[in-house]
């Protein structure tokens, strides 16, 4: 961790060239100078950051860039850097050293401000701080070409909602007969003029998620997005980041069954449609709500992969310029991976940098720490605009405040734009932001400075209670509960009743804040980009229309515009080959660490090989000497024919087992699909490079599977004992296994859910087996089904195995026509060339489906089922009234039980770290006493061990070393009785998605409560 110490009287240095004189209304004398601030601070014996801030605020400047320079200059000048010294040559193994480095002294030192001759342990801390200081300085002075202003003009987003689909899907209403019934009913409604003609085949209506949103988001500011659940916060952030699925339709006409967008989102005056060269993921980063990561990667490896992909593994875009000094500083930053290490330190993850990220199945960092990993992963890109959705989930209030403070600080230092959506920010977090955007049912009901929001709603008649936080107040206002804070006597707008969301939006549009936004949207862009097409047309003189010619030839037009920076026109920071290598290495690491999967698959294949080889042991041994050629012996022919049929069956069983194993494992791809979506949407890499790299990374696993399966089968069954035959057998089986894996990878990414993947996968497996040449011989397949045989990898592999076995060697010479006679009788065409034909089919088949996989990953998205129905308002109200009537009955249920006092003593929990194998103590001698009838709040920072303590007490830990004692009413904890008298609400929401809320609660009640209790006896 960083320990911050503020030495006495750190002098402020200010570059006068940075002073902004563009605003003529500002008196320069109102702005504090460096000398004035230093003079005030020098009067303090031991100034701290609060006093420094008060000094700056006292001479408050209206210019945010200069104000930030003062704050930054007074920030940390001493770093206490802790690190393990085990890798240092002159320090004893395992010792820890504290290093203090004064920034002020570095001005006299060479190059990057690093003095030569330091001890290795000290050098690391000094390098990191010195380069960080220089990096911040250059970032603040970077060219304004990176400044991006975002403007949303009357932006609306609507999604299709079926009008007559059943609210709860069941077997009864999810079949072709029920769909036919609905279709006939729609025709009936059309005949009665109750439905439009286009609604017969496309029975959809559109629900508006965002409604005429207009915003202006300027660089150097951080914006907070607030609103009750379902107000459109996530949709707004995704819209800015370009992550909304939508279709503009033909000639921008609305499509009934597709999401639809109206309005524009401009980045420095350009929309994505205006210039195809504008790569939105290079401008806007997006931090989603959910923490999806590769569980077997450590925190450091996760950040390292993101840095390599999003920044190219270097700091060339850090604004250091092209000079030798700039190149030297970039090299120094690259050497210590500055961005990666600063992010880990800034997010307080240094102590878990070598721990697996983990998930619900793999033990790793805590939930709050995993949330920080999600935030830091997308910070690697250093994009000028960033959208963060619900980043406080799983974090304590202090950690949230620290992270937001870091985001805001870096936003002002680098003049970037940050838009953050939070659900319940504390007052200390709320005050960090520059502006707040309040949403209600897709409408903007306020957008403006933080300082003015309370006064604005007070003018509408809503007074902030003294006991309520501003953020909570703002989120309650547009709901029905907000009516409690409305006082019509305070309203300056003459309102006499509580505003609806639409009323709030209308009032905001009429206010001065709404007018300010409209003025900003019509004002010239301060950093306007010119279209790449216009520049090209001006260079070539080939203008498409008169408007383009006029824009290109206008000196005033081009004089105020800039070319889109190269980094915003490049979709990816790495070459195709490097992206492929990065993905290959990443998945090799994941594969090596998933020991359970490796051991399980090898055990499965060896068991099947032993089973097949054991049942048909030595079945390939003809027992007749055929080295001299054909033997005219009918009995020998019959025996050999029976043996040949057994060999034929072994080939089928081998291919069937490989296909079935791949089919079963195909659904496992769904677990990592969301991770792939996140990386591809953020332009981590080219989709094809990912598909190829990940496919190649499965080669070691497939090789082990084939070796452990094919070799025992080959020798236990005593197949053709020739070197050529053996290696060709391995090659055929390996190629088929690899091809079928790629095919099912496409299915698992193309189909929506696990059940569909398994159903369709098994269907394809049965079709391949049926038309593979064993169940139905090739010459017996009807002519109209022959195409299923010729496009079937199972059939081509079967053909190659048969040709390899029966047409090489001499043991099948007992047949008059040799082994070719048996091949011909089974409907295959003889000839060794058939083996090469099989490879000629399987190899292109594999390559083709690798690229199909890339296309599917690029364009197909399955993001879970959304609410599929829209209800009539009267029906909805009747359901609410019905629920209210049930609740008003006030069932009184007496549940007799014995109160329990819970005590625990010396609770400890120790685990082994993910990669280093060192012992890590999570809990150390924790004692506690919980008395019946009292509520205890268990608090602590993220990663403090709160969940671990409850897991240990609740007997949920199945790994690690658990110590200590737990007693209930003085009796030692016993598993069966404890589980009967205890309930544990875990951190993650795991429910049966097909059950309603009432069904879920009722099911739990019936299982856990006595049947005689009225609440469980009555299911109504």
Rounded mean pLDDT of 504-526? 91
Instruction: Copy the structure tokens of residue 311.
Output: 């920044």
Out of 223-232, 436-445, 840-849, 906-915, least confident range:
906-915
To the nearest whole percent, how much of the chain has pLDDT over 90?
A: 29
Highest mean predicted confidence (pLDDT) among 164-178, 417-431, 771-785, 939-953: 417-431
The confidence score (pLDDT) of residue 6 equals 32
Picking from 767, 735, 744, the residue whose alpha carbon sits closest to that of residue 668 is: 744
The pLDDT of residue 852 is above 90: yes
pLDDT tens by residue, 646-675? 788 888 999 999 998 888 888 778 888 889
Instruction: Answer for the pair 566, 677: CB distance below 8 angstroms, yes or no.
Output: no
Chain length of the chain: 1020
Instruction: Copy the structure tokens of residue 34.
Output: 């460096």
The pLDDT of residue 815 is above 80: no
338-343 contacts: CB < 8 A, separation 24 or more? Answer: 338/128, 338/131, 338/132, 338/135, 339/307, 339/311, 339/315, 339/380, 339/382, 340/300, 340/303, 340/304, 340/307, 340/380, 341/128, 342/128, 342/132, 343/303, 343/376, 343/379, 343/380
User: What DSSP designation does 973 have?
Assistant: P
Task: Give the three-class secondary structure for 150.
Answer: strand
pLDDT tens by residue, 694-729? 999 999 999 999 999 999 988 888 887 788 889 999
The whole-chain average pLDDT of the chain stands at 76
The pLDDT of residue 251 is above 50: no
Q: Which residue has the higher pLDDT, 143 or 100?
A: 143
Q: Which residue has the higher pLDDT, 257 or 379?
A: 379
The confidence score (pLDDT) of residue 75 equals 34
Instruction: Copy the structure tokens of residue 169.
Output: 């899907």
Cα first-last separation, the chain = 57
Output the CA torsion sign for 112, 113, 117, 118: negative
DSSP labels, 868-896: -----HHHHHHHHHHHHHHHHT-------
Residue 181: count other Cβ atoms within 10 Å of its Cβ. 12
The pLDDT of residue 1015 is above 80: no
The confidence score (pLDDT) of residue 109 equals 34
Residue 506's Cβ-count burial label (10 Å; 0-12, 13-18, 19+) is middle
For residue 806, name the pLDDT band (cuts at 50, 70, 90): confident
DSSP labels, 271-320: -TTT-TT--HHHHEEEE-SS----TTSBHHHHHHHHHHHHSTTS-TTSS-
The pLDDT of residue 204 is above 90: no
The confidence score (pLDDT) of residue 584 equals 96
Out of 311-325, 362-376, 424-438, 868-882, least confident range:
868-882
pLDDT tens by residue, 313-356? 887 765 555 567 767 777 888 788 888 888 888 888 888 888 99
Q: What are phi and psi of 291, to 5 degrees?
A: -95, 95
**Dihedral of the alpha carbons of 441, 447, 450, 453, in degrees to the nearest 10:** -70
For residue 490, name the pLDDT band (cuts at 50, 70, 90): confident
Task: Give the three-class secondary structure for 775.
Answer: coil
CA dist list (Å): 671 to 360, 521, 768: 11, 43, 26
Q: Which residue has the higher pLDDT, 375 or 806?
A: 375
For residue 619, name the pLDDT band (cuts at 50, 70, 90): low
The confidence score (pLDDT) of residue 317 equals 63
Pairing of strands 96-102, 78-84: antiparallel
Q: What is d(CA 67, CA 31) in angstroms, rounded to the nearest whole number?
A: 9
The confidence score (pLDDT) of residue 53 equals 52
For residue 832, name the pLDDT band (cuts at 50, 70, 90): low
The confidence score (pLDDT) of residue 879 equals 44
Give the H/E segment covering residue 448: strand 443-449
Cross-strand partners of 270 = 267
Instruction: Copy the structure tokens of residue 248.
Output: 């503009």
Q: Which residue has the higher pLDDT, 793 or 120?
A: 793
Q: What are phi and psi of 983, to 5 degrees?
A: -125, 145
Place of tokens 């399987």: 842
User: What DSSP designation does 564 have?
Assistant: P
Place of tokens 């809503």: 462
Burial 664-679 (b: 16+ CB within 10 A, else e): ebbbebbebbbebbbb
The pLDDT of residue 519 is above 80: yes
How are strands ordered across the β-sheet holding 78-84? 3-5, 78-84, 96-102
Instruction: Answer for the pair 157, 244: CB distance below 8 angstroms, yes or no.
Output: yes
Q: What is d(CA 784, CA 23) in angstroms, rounded to the nearest whole number?
A: 80
Rounded mean pLDDT of 432-453? 93
Instruction: Copy the structure tokens of residue 503.
Output: 């009323």
The pLDDT of residue 120 is above 50: no
The confidence score (pLDDT) of residue 964 equals 92
The rounded radius of gyration (Å) of the Cα atoms in the chain is: 35
Instruction: Answer for the pair 598, 700: CB distance below 8 angstroms, yes or no.
Output: no
The pLDDT of residue 29 is above 90: no
Picking from 337, 259, 261, the residue whose alpha carbon sits closest to that of residue 300 is: 337
Out of 2-16, 210-224, 320-334, 752-766, least confident range:
2-16
Q: pTM of the predicted model, to two decimals?
A: 0.75
For residue 1017, name the pLDDT band (cuts at 50, 70, 90): low
Picking from 779, 774, 772, the residue whose alpha carbon sits closest to that of residue 829 is: 779
Q: Which residue has the higher pLDDT, 871 or 267?
A: 267
Task: Give the three-class secondary structure for 1004.
Answer: helix
The pLDDT of residue 634 is above 70: no
Out of 112-116, 339-343, 524-528, 784-788, least confident range:
112-116
The confidence score (pLDDT) of residue 868 equals 41
Q: Which residue has the higher pLDDT, 416 or 1018?
A: 416
pLDDT tens by residue, 33-50? 545 545 554 454 444 445
Q: What is d(CA 669, CA 746) in angstroms, rounded to the nearest whole number?
A: 10
The pLDDT of residue 824 is above 50: yes
Give the H/E segment covering residue 241: helix 233-241
Rounded mean pLDDT of 778-805? 87
């Amino acid at each position: 961790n960083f320990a911050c110490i503020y030495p006495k009287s750190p002098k402020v240095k200010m570059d006068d060239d940075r002073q902004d004189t563009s605003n003529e209304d500002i008196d320069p004398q109102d702005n504090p100078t460096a000398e004035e601030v230093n003079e005030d601070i020098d009067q303090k014996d031991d100034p701290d950051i609060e006093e420094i801030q008060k000094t700056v605020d006292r001479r408050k400047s209206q210019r945010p860039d200069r104000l930030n320079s003062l704050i930054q200059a007074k920030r940390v000048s001493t770093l206490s850097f802790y690190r393990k010294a085990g890798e240092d040559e002159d320090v004893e193994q395992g010792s820890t050293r504290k290093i203090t480095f004064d920034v002020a002294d570095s001005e006299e030192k060479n190059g990057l401000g690093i003095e030569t001759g330091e001890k290795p342990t000290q050098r690391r801390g000094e390098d990191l701080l010195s380069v960080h200081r220089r990096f911040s300085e250059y970032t603040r002075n970077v060219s304004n070409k990176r400044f991006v202003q975002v403007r949303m003009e009357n932006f609306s987003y609507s999604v299709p909602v079926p009008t007559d689909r059943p609210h709860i899907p069941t077997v009864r209403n999810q079949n072709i007969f029920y769909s036919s019934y609905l279709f006939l009913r729609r025709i009936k409604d059309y005949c009665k003029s109750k439905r439009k003609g286009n609604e017969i085949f496309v029975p959809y209506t559109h629900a508006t998620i965002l409604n005429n949103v207009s915003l202006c988001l300027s660089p150097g500011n951080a914006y907070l997005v607030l609103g009750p659940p379902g107000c459109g916060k996530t949709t707004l952030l995704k819209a800015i980041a370009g992550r909304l699925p939508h279709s503009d339709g033909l000639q921008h006409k609305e499509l009934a069954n597709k999401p639809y967008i109206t309005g524009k989102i401009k980045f420095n005056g350009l929309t994505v449609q205006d210039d195809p060269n504008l790569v939105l993921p290079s401008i806007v980063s997006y931090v989603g709500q959910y923490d999806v990561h590769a569980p077997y990667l450590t925190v450091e490896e996760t950040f390292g992969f993101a840095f390599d992909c999003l920044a190219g593994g270097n700091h060339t875009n850090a604004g250091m310029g092209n000079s030798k000094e700039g190149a030297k500083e970039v090299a120094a930053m690259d050497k210590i991976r500055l961005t990666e290490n600063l992010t880990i330190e800034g997010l307080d993850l240094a102590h878990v940098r070598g721990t697996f990220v983990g998930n619900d199945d793999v033990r790793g960092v805590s939930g709050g720490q995993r949330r920080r990993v999600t935030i830091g992963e997308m910070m690697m890109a250093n994009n000028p605009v960033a959208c963060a959705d619900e980043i406080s989930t799983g974090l304590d209030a202090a950690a949230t405040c620290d992270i937001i403070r870091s985001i805001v600080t870096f936003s002002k230092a680098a003049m970037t734009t940050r838009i953050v959506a939070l659900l319940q920010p504390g007052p200390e977090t709320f005050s960090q932001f520059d502006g707040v955007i309040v949403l209600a049912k897709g409408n903007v009901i306020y957008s403006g400075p933080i300082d003015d929001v309370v006064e604005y709603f007070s003018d509408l008649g809503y007074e902030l209670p003294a006991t309520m936080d501003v953020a909570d107040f703002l989120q309650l206002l547009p709901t029905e509960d907000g009516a409690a804070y409305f006082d019509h006597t305070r309203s300056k707008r003459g309102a006499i009743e509580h505003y609806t969301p639409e009323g709030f939006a209308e009032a905001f549009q009429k206010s001065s804040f709404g007018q300010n936004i409209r003025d900003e949207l019509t004002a010239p862009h301060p950093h306007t980009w010119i279209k790449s097409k216009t520049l090209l047309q001006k260079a070539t003189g080939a203008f498409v229309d008169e408007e383009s010619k006029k824009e290109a030839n206008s000196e005033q037009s081009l004089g105020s515009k800039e070319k889109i920076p190269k980094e915003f026109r490049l979709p990816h920071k790495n070459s195709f080959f490097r992206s492929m290598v990065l993905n290959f290495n990443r998945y090799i690491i994941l594969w090596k660490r998933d020991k359970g999967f490796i051991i399980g698959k090898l055990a499965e294949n060896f068991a099947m090989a032993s089973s097949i080889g054991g049942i048909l042991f030595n079945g390939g041994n003809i027992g007749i000497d055929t080295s001299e050629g054909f033997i005219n012996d009918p009995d020998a022919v019959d025996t050999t024919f029976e043996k040949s049929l057994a060999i034929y069956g072994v080939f089928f069983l081998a291919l069937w087992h490989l296909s079935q194993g791949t089919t079963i494992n195909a659904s496992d791809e769904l677990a990592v699909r969301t991770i792939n979506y996140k990386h591809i949407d953020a332009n981590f890499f080219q989709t094809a490079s990912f598909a190829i790299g990940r496919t190649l990374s499965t080669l070691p696993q497939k090789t082990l599977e084939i070796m452990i399966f094919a070799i025992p089968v080959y020798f236990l069954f005593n197949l053709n004992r020739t070197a050529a035959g053996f290696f060709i057998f391995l090659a055929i089986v390996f190629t088929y296994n690899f091809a079928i894996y790629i095919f099912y990878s496409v299915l698992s990414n193309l189909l929506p859910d696990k059940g569909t993947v398994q159903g369709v996968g098994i269907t394809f497996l049965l079709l391949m087996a049926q038309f593979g040449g064993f169940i139905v011989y090739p010459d017996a397949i009807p002519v109209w089904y022959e195409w299923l045989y010729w496009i079937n990898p199972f059939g081509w592999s079967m053909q190659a195995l048969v040709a390899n076995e029966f047409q090489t060697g001499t043991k099948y010479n007992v047949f008059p026509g040799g082994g070719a006679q048996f091949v011909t009788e089974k409907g295959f065409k003889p000839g060794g060339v058939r083996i090469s034909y099989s490879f000629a089919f399987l190899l292109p088949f594999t390559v083709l489906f690798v690229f199909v996989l890339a296309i599917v990953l690029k364009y197909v998205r399955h993001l879970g089922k959304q609410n599929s129905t829209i209800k009539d308002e009267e029906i909805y109200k009747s359901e609410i009234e019905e629920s209210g009537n049930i609740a008003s009955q006030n069932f009184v249920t007496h549940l007799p039980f014995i109160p329990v006092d819970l005590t625990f003593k010396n609770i400890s929990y120790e685990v082994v770290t993910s990669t280093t194998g060192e012992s890590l103590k999570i809990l150390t001698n924790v004692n506690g006493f919980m008395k019946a009838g009292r509520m205890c709040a268990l608090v602590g920072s993220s990663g403090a061990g709160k969940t671990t303590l409850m897991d240990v007490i609740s007997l949920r830990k199945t790994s690690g070393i658990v110590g200590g004692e737990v007693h209930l009413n003085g009796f030692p904890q016993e598993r069966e009785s404890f589980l009967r008298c205890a309930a544990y609400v875990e951190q993650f929401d795991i429910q049966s998605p097909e059950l309603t809320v009432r069904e879920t609660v009722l099911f739990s009640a019936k299982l856990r409560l006595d049947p005689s209790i009225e609440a469980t006896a009555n299911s109504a």
